Structure 1
């Protein structure tokens, strides 16, 4: 969780600037993007899964996801404990 909370992380493996390329996924990998979007939008609906379980299901060691979900958790009042 510490890595996810560091604002200026930008190394060869984890470049925050890579997230800007996500918009191209729909153009270059349409089927994969649509499948991901379907799962993501379905699990994000509040009545489907509690937020924590939804995040746990969709976030599997991806540093980009960990970063985004850690920030969202902080905004909703979560602590490192």
Structure 2
């Protein structure tokens, strides 16, 4: 079991919740959680626990998945407009 916490500056719940969802769908992730420690602090903390795989690899994989979702959404929105 491997656990890491990642801190993102100038981010909030918008990225946190979307990224948490994508990370939770990763097959090597056992647990993921995020928080914004204080509303006055502009930082996001994401904690990932895996079954042995490097958590940073799971984070990168999940960020790419989120990017793909966002690209698909933007393409569909452009077709609608």
The verdict on a shared fold, with TM-score over 0.5 as the criterion, is: no
Higher helix share: 1
Higher relative contact order (CA 8 A, sep 6+): 1
TM-score normalised per structure 1: 0.28
TM-score normalised per structure 2: 0.28
Higher strand share: 2
